[in-house]
Amino acid sequence: MRIRFHLVMFMLSVALWINAQERDSMKVIRLGDVSVSASYEKRMIRSTALPVDVVGEHFLRERFTGNLIQTLEHIPGVHSMNIGSGFSKPVIRGMGFNRISVIENGVKQEGQQWGLDHGLEIDAFNTEQVTVRKGPASLLYGSDAMGGTIEITQRLPEAGNYVFGEAALLGKSINGTAGGSALIGIKKEAWYAKFRYSEQRFGDYRIPADTIVYLTQRLPVYGRKLKNTAGLERDMSLYTEYRKGRYSSNYAVSNAYQKVGFFPGTHGIPDMARLQDDGSHRNIELPFSTVNHLKATTHQQYMRSTVTGYLDAGYQRNDREELSRFHTHYDNQPIPEKDPDKELAFSLETYSLSAKIKHIPSTVWEHTAGWDVQYQQNRISGYSFLLPEYRRFTTGLFWLASWYPAGTDFSVSGGVRYDYGKMDVLAYGDFSGSLGLVWHPGDREIHLVKANIGHSFRLPGAYELTANGVHHGAFRHEQGDQALSSEQGWQLDLSYTYREKGVSFSASPYAAWFGNYIFLRPTGEWSVLPHAGQIYRYTGAEALFAGAEITFGIDFRPDLNYTLTGEYVYTLNLDEHIPLSFSPPASMRNTLTWTGKNIRAYAECQSIASQNRVARNEDPTRGAHLLHAGATVNIRIGKAMAEIALLFQNILDTRYYNHLSFYRKVEIPEPGRNVQLFIKVPFKSYIK
């Protein structure tokens, strides 16, 4: 195999070597490490009236899949809208795409959000702490956060001067993934810096099926592997931080590259000859896609007396191409003389700037005001058409106040925001606002009650207004509608949490009404373009969302825990009195976890209900019961504490479908049995 991770193996050797050295050249007095994740989690949960989940490195490593959104699926209410190669988009409570903001180091991630066949272009190895906000977060994060946010942050470095790093290796049986990541960094006085390189390579995707259906044709899947779905992902990032006195700042530069093949049986004109086994499960041939995401960000913070100022700025460039041997859905279209295999190409540049001021005049009041602005420009090329060139400008002002009455167990927060946006000649503007309550009845550590009501607003995306062409990654003809108006709605969130003596319970019901909810509607119309299938058109309608997430946990013994999590989403198109398309089904997880001195093991049964509440011209999806298991072991090698995680997914090799996956449309099931091995060896050496 041509898979080499010299840097990772070198770092693995360095990690073991450094930890094996005797540091007798200087005297080191080291206090025990202090974990602050629990207090950070409590502070985040209690500081907002919205339901919030904070997960740290332990959660992310134990459930690590090499894909961040699939890892976060273990959080109730969070789903991944994915495609077989392992790339996915986040869905929170049935809302996805430009309704969910993903924020890394204070800047919103801006790729081709409409393109499902590419992930977030964020290195899963490089995520240390994630905060998931469910519900309308438009007040703080703008119109694209009306469904929630996923915020990726860095851990605070420990005190002292030291060099540090880690080496990690990842392997999967489902598609022959071999991956690795290497980290090296230094903490010296006020400076903190780290560099990471990660790479994953995978082969053709294995499925528990021998055939699929595309445009009414049944196509064979030889060896139960989807031909030409191999790919690679390569990520690099540099992060540096400075903290001294009242001032702190950080600077980050990252580049993410992905290349993945398309299954040729569902790209262009169906052709049995293109499906024959070519003798290799790791090569990438036409058709395939590439994406490269470059991002540079900075965060500045200064605190003086009762006032703290924040400034975030960022530049992003997302270059995406789909390459396929020339084929046309139009009569008499000639073969291009230049780049004849370039079917689609998009280059999206994004400039963003935001400023906030927080004022705490007393122990009972806190005020935050902010302004943000963003400019985007998209350029296109290629012999096919899906999305036009466009320019987009958005800006917003907000104010948020929180009141903590002295001697009481509750707090109240509320605010208002105004957004304005323009795309070429179309302009939109509207207000967002929210009012929330956080209450601790009785013992502050046992009960927590939250309530929040908010008005949200979202500008239509470029693809919702102007798309018109075959989207091969989604197996359909997509059409926008330039007559769409902005999306507006009211959302109510409630939650209750109980924790005492090894027992925990939480329930988070919610409801939302939208006067003009924009969704992708299966029209039942057959595209006039050959081999394009059914037309899916972006449509606005009055809509209702309702549902709940629940979590129950009990410690049978100090080392044995049982956890039940469940979720349900109800959607209704009030104009037609039918469900909305792509509504996630109800699901439940029963997990039994045993924790020993240096080992943690779990067994889990995941139950997914059938989704029969579907839109007109949308197929229902059968439910399934899946068994998973895993174990994490910490082993001391010299003075290094290595972490080894073994994961077994879909142990019974059950054939099932993800209702949110575009692959479901062509009867491609989700992955079969998968065994995954993840090894991480960190090191740290103190210096003067």
The predicted-structure confidence for 52-79, as pLDDT tens digits, reads as follows: 889 888 888 888 888 888 889 889 999 8
Closest CA to 114 of 510, 427, 388: 388
Summarize the confidence of residues 528-552 as an average pLDDT: 89
What is the pLDDT, as a whole number, of residue 85? 60
681 close to 10: Cβ distance less than 8 angstroms: no
pLDDT value of position 19: 46
Task: Give yes or no for a cis peptide into 669 (omega within 30° of 0).
Answer: no
293 CB contacts (<8 Å, ≥6 apart)?
Answer: 111, 121, 254, 255, 256, 257, 316, 317, 318, 319
* Helix-, strand-, coil-residue percentages of the chain, each rounded to 5: 10, 55, 35
- Could you tell me the pLDDT band of residue 115, with boundaries at 50, 70 and 90? low
Average pLDDT over every residue of 124-141: 89
Q: Could you tell me which of 182, 184, 154, 186 has the C-alpha nearest to residue 168?
A: 182
Q: Which residue has the tokens 């294995």?
A: 206
Phi-psi sector, 59: left (phi>0), alpha (psi -120 to 50), beta:
alpha
Q: What is the pLDDT of residue 671?
A: 82
**Lowest-pLDDT range, 42-51, 90-99, 226-235?**
42-51
Please give the residue that has the higher pLDDT: either 324 or 592: 592
Cα–Cα distance for residue pair 84/87, rounded to 1 Å: 7
Tokens 């009012």 belong to which residue?
A: 435
Q: How far apart are the first and last CA of the chain?
A: 44
**Residues 398-403: contacts with CB within 8 Å, 24+ apart?**
398/139, 398/140, 398/369, 398/370, 398/371, 398/432, 399/367, 399/368, 399/369, 400/139, 400/140, 400/367, 400/368, 400/369, 401/365, 401/366, 401/367, 401/368, 402/365, 402/366, 402/367, 403/364, 403/365
On average, the pLDDT of the chain sits at: 87
Give the phi and the psi of residue 544 in degrees, each rounded to 5. -125, 135
More confident residue, 498 or 666: 498
pLDDT of residue 2: 42
Q: How confident is the model at residue 550 (pLDDT cuts 50, 70, 90)?
A: very high
pLDDT band for 3, please (50, 70, 90 cuts).
Answer: very low
Q: Find tokens 């470095």 and name the residue.
A: 157
For residues 7-32, average pLDDT? 42
All structural domains of the chain, each given as residue ranges with its CATH number in brackets, are 6-686 (2.40.170.20)
List pLDDT tens digits, range 493-523: 999 999 998 999 999 999 999 999 998 888 8
CB atoms near residue 576 (< 10 Å): 14
Give the model's confidence band at 84: pLDDT under 50 very low, under 70 low, under 90 confident, else very high. low
CB atoms under 10 Å from CB of 229, counted, come to 26
Note the pLDDT of residue 325: 85
- pLDDT at residue 32, rounded to an integer: 38
Tokens of 267: 């790209």
47-56, 310-319, 397-406: least confident range: 47-56
- Is the model's pLDDT at 164 over the cut of 80? yes
Q: What is the pLDDT of residues 448-495, one digit of tens each?
A: 999 999 998 888 888 888 888 877 666 778 898 988 988 889 999 999
Residue 659's pLDDT is 92
- The confidence score (pLDDT) of residue 270 equals 61
Q: What are 314's strand-pairing partners?
A: 297, 352
- Say which residues have a Cβ less than 8 Å from residue 24's Cβ, sequence separation at least 6: none
96 contacts 90 by C-beta, under 8 angstroms: yes
pLDDT at 655: 92
Percentage with pLDDT > 70 across the chain: 89
Confidence (pLDDT) at 490 = 94
- What does the alpha-carbon distance between residue 35 and residue 459 come to, in Å, rounded to a whole number? 41
Q: What is the pLDDT of residue 329?
A: 67
Mention every residue, 6+ apart, whose C-beta is less than 8 A from residue 542: 513, 514, 515, 516, 517, 573, 574, 575
Looking at residue 337, its pLDDT comes to: 86
Of 89, 112, 118, 662, which is closest to residue 380 (Cα–Cα)? 112
**625 neighbors 656 (Cβ within 8 angstroms):** no
pLDDT at residue 23, rounded to an integer: 38
pLDDT at 15 over 50: no
Q: Are 635 and 641 in contact (CB under 8 A)?
A: yes
pTM over 0.75: yes
Token digits of residue 196: 């990471």
Which 3 state secondary structure label does DSSP give 369? strand
Q: Provide the pLDDT for residue 670.
A: 87
103 vs 639 pLDDT, higher one: 103
Per-residue model confidence (pLDDT) at position 21: 41
Is 117 a residue whose pLDDT tops 70? no
Mind giving me the DSSP string for 602-659?
EEEEEEE--B----TT---B--EEEEEEEEEEEEEETTEEEEEEEEEESTT------T
* pLDDT score of 68: 87
Given a cut of 60, whether residue 25 has pLDDT beyond it is no
In the prediction, which pLDDT does 452 show? 93
pLDDT at 524 over 90: no
Residues 60, 127 contacting (CB under 8 angstroms): yes
pLDDT of residue 401 exceeding 60, the answer is: yes
Q: How confident is the model at residue 27 (pLDDT cuts 50, 70, 90)?
A: very low
Q: What is the pLDDT of residue 62?
A: 82
More confident call, 255 vs 223: 255
pLDDT digits (tens, 9 = 90+) for 142-159: 888 888 999 999 888 999
> What is the distance between the alpha carbons of residues 372 and 395, in angstroms, rounded to a whole number?
6
Residue among 598, 578, 655, 539 at smallest CA distance from 207: 655
367-394 pLDDT tens trace:
999 999 999 999 999 988 888 899 999 9
Whether residue 34 has pLDDT greater than 50: no
Give me the pLDDT at residue 312, please.
Answer: 97
Q: What tens digit of pLDDT does each residue of 193-220 get? A: 999 999 999 999 888 888 888 777 788 8
pLDDT tens profile 554-583: 999 999 999 999 999 999 999 999 999 889
CB atoms within 10 A of CB 620: 12
